Structure 1
Amino acid sequence: MIKVVKFGGSSLADAAQFQKAGQIIRKEEERRYVVPSAPGKRSPDDTKVTDMLYGCYGAALTDEEDFSEEFEDRLSQIRKRYEEIIEGLGISLDLEEEFLEIREKFLKKTGRDYAASRGEYLNGRIMAEYLGYTFVDAADVIFFDASGNFDAEKTDRILSEVLSQTERAVIPGFYGSMPDGSVKTFSRGGSDITGSIVAKAVHADMYENWTDVSGFLIADPRVVDNPKAIDVITYRELRELSYMGATVLHEDAIFPVRQEGIPINIRNTNIPADPGTLIVENTCRKPRFVITGIAGKKDFASVTVEKAMMNAEVGFCVKVLQVFADNGIAIEHMPSGIDTLTVFVHQDEFADKEQKVIAGIHRAVHPDFLELESDLALIAVVGRGMQTARGVSGRIFSALAHANVKVKMIDQGSSGLNVIIGVRNHDFEDAIRAIYDIFVTTMI
């Protein structure tokens, strides 16, 4: 059995956290490949190393003398963070050459991607030394094409070959390399993606993602007090929840392992005995509740287009959507009726272009009526149990009515896996609590 383990920044913030991670890795022989993030915050008012690196590189971009002093001071603080970890672990590792190279490349303005990647690179060096594992630089095995897109085929081929000859290895997360050899990073949180890529390359039996929470919760704990944990969730359910704001796992980390049918286990470094949340392709296991999770986002705007006999006009929807595309505005949701079509977009993307969009829609489809609304929120209620349950939408309506929440829109996908509800921003929290109570609290 092979397990790939990824540790987030909070799990590797200092030497004490490193030791917890080391105990977890050594506890099971199957944990053969480790993907570390950069050190995260040690306390709420602390700074992540990645942000320290961005700040240091920003200071290097100017030639002014006072900023030169700031650059040296920032680099010294970063070095101190790593030296404290090394000293706390009691290992013999000298990063002098690495920091000389970082200093040189920062002053040569090598790029923000290179700067950000050093957090994971240095933590990878420390982790490999601490565990006695082989260090494999992600820049040598993870590749992007000339356009900056991840090259999955080349990566899988070379990474598989390298790791097949390496019994135990540490591969830093978050970055890879471009065809010219320069460093390229994934988006923030991209170490999750690296772990998934490694799991696919070694045909892992399990991808464990260790963080500071015991898996996914049914609802945001900032909204619902002590929400229940999710035991098992499918990739499809996770995708729906991630899209609507659930952020325990980088959503792009799903795809490499999903292709191979590799389960993901979200675990808590600080409470390793907790089983966490298991993410699988599919399962016969019945969920504890009808719903699996609730997630949502605020600050949407809606554009409602009304025209008699709209449904009989070929290409009507395409023409409306083309107006948004021409203005570079992404569509979030699009419920429709016989004579109406409503398009939900992010308010901040839409605000400066609303008059162009209105004019474009009038020219494209000549609507009878057009209405705009702002300060809206979308909430996704997701669950495989909803596919066989009766009266889900009715229970949602009832719960929201009881909480005095006005529903602006409700739409259920054809799969029956999710229901999307639109409410006012100021009703967002009350709506989530009401839905949680009707499907979870009353069922306990």
Structure 2
Amino acid sequence: MKFGGTNMGDAAAIRHSAYLSQRSSKEGVKVVVVVSAMAGVTNQLLGIAEAAEKGDIALANDQIAGLRTRHFTAAQDLGAAPDSGVVREIRELLETLRQAVYGVYLLRELTPRSRDLIVAFGERLSAPLMALGLSSLGARAHHLTGGQAGIVTDSHFGSARPLSTAAGRIRDRLSGLLDAGLTPVIAGFMGETEKGAITTLGRGGTDFSATIVGAALHADEVWAWKDVDGVMSADPRSVMGAQNIAQLSYGEVMELAYFGAKVLHPLAVTPLQEAGIPLRVKSAADPDFAGTLVTSEAQTDGQHPVKAVTAIRGVSIINVSGAGILGVPDVVADLFAALARENITLLMVSQSSSMSNVSLVILGSDEEHTLAALTPPMGGRHLQVDVQRGVAVLAIVGAGMRGTKGVSAKLFSALANADINILMISQGSSELNISVAIEGADVEHATRTVHSAFGLDAEPVADKPGTDTR
């Protein structure tokens, strides 16, 4: 069971999350708990690290003091005495955090490795609180960091990936705890290298942690507890008619996550695919609701080939052109190699049939590194690089699109009728998604328009007799 930041937000939320875990344990199910940082703490830690790098150690220390108060208050509300082991552990962790931040301040340098060390303190601080919450309900719990749980990764700090040896380590380190009747509580989002350096798995990586552990233990299911009913057909903050999707395939949920749906980490289902382990996305506020079931099988009804509409905001289009690119077959390979060295993710790629230009869609946050990677002449070729900012990528996703005629026509017609210009188009060979780049200012209107065009809006709830609707 994975619990997100909202479900770890304060003592009351932690106590409720612990109850959800215990509810299954009392039914005879062995449960492993994986936790996120308390809501907002990851962003706060990033802010602390950046303040230290800029030399504002006073601001960094003030923020650390705020973390101390918040975590001590939660521990006290969960029943910890002032001199308890949990309080001492939290105090020691915060002192280690302070020292790490001070090191960044002295050097005025925030490396990916030191950023991972600092940002992982959110989960390291929340895991003892969840163990405390379980203990208050009579459960025997033992908390571990991701590395202590056996999640060994490569050294790509900020977006680390588990090594093939991780599964065996996880089984070795957790099986004994489970056999002894203990509930392991694992700090999500983090692992460690073979040399013991702390790594993180990318934003939303607690989902990934949970599925890595679930696959290693051959779990019956992995449950991701959220503050929503499941995976929705669109962002409910943008589309009032968004509704829960009962079932998705691994491929569909990966496409949704990759193209902006924040409900799951893009790689979360990959550890589960080979073993065919189901993933359930459930609401902590309504635990008896089925939520969304993610399996290997795609469920299609023939009437709704598209299951969801999602969008990535804040992206840029990089156009690469010039005489040096015309008719040169290896230029795209050179481009991709240059971007791979900078660990830059490409959201969309398009090349003209004349091979005179290549267009790349990247996250806006990667723009500086992308331009730096493409600026030196590649193979002696001088290229022209132009940037179009303020762009969004809108994607429709659904296994039912495969072989269904007219899906693209409906998408393009809906956008045209809404007076929305398409800047770039991409469709994967799997036919699970069609994505378009549009002006960022149009993304909200475009999402609502396309959601309605494919008949995804939920039916309005009829007023109950005698209800005053004023």
Q: TM-score, normalised by structure 1?
A: 0.81
CA contact (8 A) 1:214 1:268 kept: yes
> Which secondary structure state, in structure 2, belongs to the residue aligned with residue 33 of structure 1?
coil
2 CA distance for matches of 1:63 and 1:330? 31
Task: Say if 2:152 is the partner of 1:137.
Answer: no
User: In the alignment, which residue of structure 2 is the partner of 1:44?
Assistant: none
1:169 corresponds to 2:153: no
In structure 2, the residue matched to 1:242 is: 257
> What secondary structure sits across from 1:95 in the alignment?
helix
Higher mean Cα deviation, 51-60 or 6-15? 51-60
- By how many angstroms is 1:271 displaced? 1.4
Deviation at 1:200, TM superposition (A): 1.2
**Partner in structure 2 of residue 27 of structure 1:** 23
Distance in 1 (alpha carbons) for counterparts of 2:376 and 2:168: 50
Local SS of the residue matching 2:346: coil
- 1:150: Cα distance to partner? 4.5
Cross-structure match for 2:296: 281
The CA distance in 2 between the partners of 1:201 and 1:354, in whole Å, is: 40
What corresponds to 2:449 in structure 1? Answer: 434
CA–CA distance in 2 between the matches of 1:61 and 1:351?
19
1:13 shift after superposition: 2.1
Q: CA deviation at 1:421?
A: 1.4
- Cα distance change of structure 1 residues 229 and 123 upon mapping to structure 2, 3 Å threshold: same
- The alpha-carbon deviation at position 349 of structure 1 amounts to 3.8
Give 1:359-378 correspondences, 5 Å limit: 360=377, 364=381, 373-378=388-393
1:339: which partner in 2?
A: 354
The residue type paired with residue 83 of structure 1 is: A
Q: What is the CA-CA distance between 1:395 and the residue it aligns to?
A: 0.8
Q: Return the match for 1:14 from 10, 21, 29.
A: 10
Identity, in percent, stands at 23
State the 1:265 CA deviation. Answer: 0.5
**Which residue among 401, 413, 434 is the counterpart of 1:386?**
401
Q: Is the 8 A contact 1:60 1:71 kept in 2?
A: no
Q: Which amino acid aligns with 1:137?
A: L
Per the alignment, residue 112 of structure 1 pairs with 118
Return the alpha-carbon distance in structure 2 between the equivalents of residues 9 and 411 of structure 1.
34
Once the 2 structures are TM-superposed, how far is the Cα of residue 102 of structure 1 from its aligned partner?
2.5
Match of 2:92 in 1: 101
The reply to whether residue 153 of structure 1 matches residue 151 of structure 2 is no
Give the superposition deviation at 1:117. Answer: 3.8
CA distance in 2, matches of 1:435, 1:331: 24
Provide the secondary structure at the position in 2 that maps to 1:251: coil
Letter in 1 for 2:289: D
How far apart in 2 are the matches of 1:351 and 1:100? 38
Moved more, 13-22 or 191-200: 13-22
Name which of 221, 225, 228 aligns with 2:243: 228
Matched letter for residue 160 of structure 1: R
* Whole-angstrom distance in 2 between the partners of 1:66 and 1:315: 51
Q: Distance in 2 between matches of 1:59 and 1:313?
A: 46
Q: Aligned equivalents of 2:56 and 2:256: distance in 1?
A: 47
| CA contact 1:53–1:78 (8 Å) conserved in 2 | no
**How far apart are the structure 1 equivalents of 2:62 and 2:124?**
19
- Bigger Cα displacement from structure 2, 409-418 vs 429-438: 409-418
Say if 1:391 and 1:305 are closer, same or farther in 2 by CA, change over 3 A: farther
Q: Is the 8 A contact 1:124 1:172 kept in 2?
A: no
Of 326-335 and 22-31, more deviation after overlay is shown by: 326-335
Q: Note the alpha carbon deviations across 1:19-75, whole angstroms, 9 max, x for none.
A: 43244333332542232425634xxxxxx3455666788999999997898488446
Secondary structure in 1 matching 2:20: helix
Q: Unaligned 5+ residue runs, structure 2?
A: 102-116, 460-470
Of residues 74-83 and 387-396 in structure 1, the stretch that sits farther from structure 2 once superposed is 74-83
Q: Give SS of 1:272's match.
A: coil
Is structure 2 residue 35 aligned with structure 1 residue 37? yes
Return the alpha-carbon distance in structure 2 between the equivalents of residues 325 and 365 of structure 1.
Answer: 20
Unaligned runs of 5+ residues in structure 1 are 42-47
Q: Secondary structure at the match of 2:191?
A: strand
**How many Å apart are 1:438 and its aligned residue?**
0.9
Moved more, 336-345 or 192-201: 336-345
Give the Å deviation of 1:394.
0.8
Verify the 8 A CA contact 1:52 1:78 in the aligned structure 2: no
Matches of residues 39-438 of structure 1 in structure 2 within 5 Å?
40-41=38-39, 48-50=40-42, 70=62, 73-74=65-66, 76-87=68-79, 94-106=85-97, 108-109=99-100, 111-112=117-118, 115-131=121-137, 132-138=139-145, 139-144=147-152, 147=155, 149-165=160-176, 166=178, 167-174=181-188, 175-181=190-196, 183-284=198-299, 286=301, 289-298=304-313, 299-303=315-319, 305=321, 314-319=329-334, 321=336, 330-340=345-355, 341-346=357-362, 347=364, 349-350=366-367, 357=374, 360=377, 364=381, 373-438=388-453
Conserved in 2, the CA contact under 8 Å of 1:224 and 1:433?
A: yes
Cα displacement (A) at 1:229: 1.5
On the 8 A contact 1:218/1:293 being kept in 2, the answer is yes
1:407–1:55 distance in 2 versus 1, CA, 3 Å: closer
Report the Cα distance in structure 2 between the residues aligned to 1:314 and 1:63, rounded to whole angstroms. 48
Displacement, 1:209?
A: 0.5
Match for 1:140: what amino acid? Q
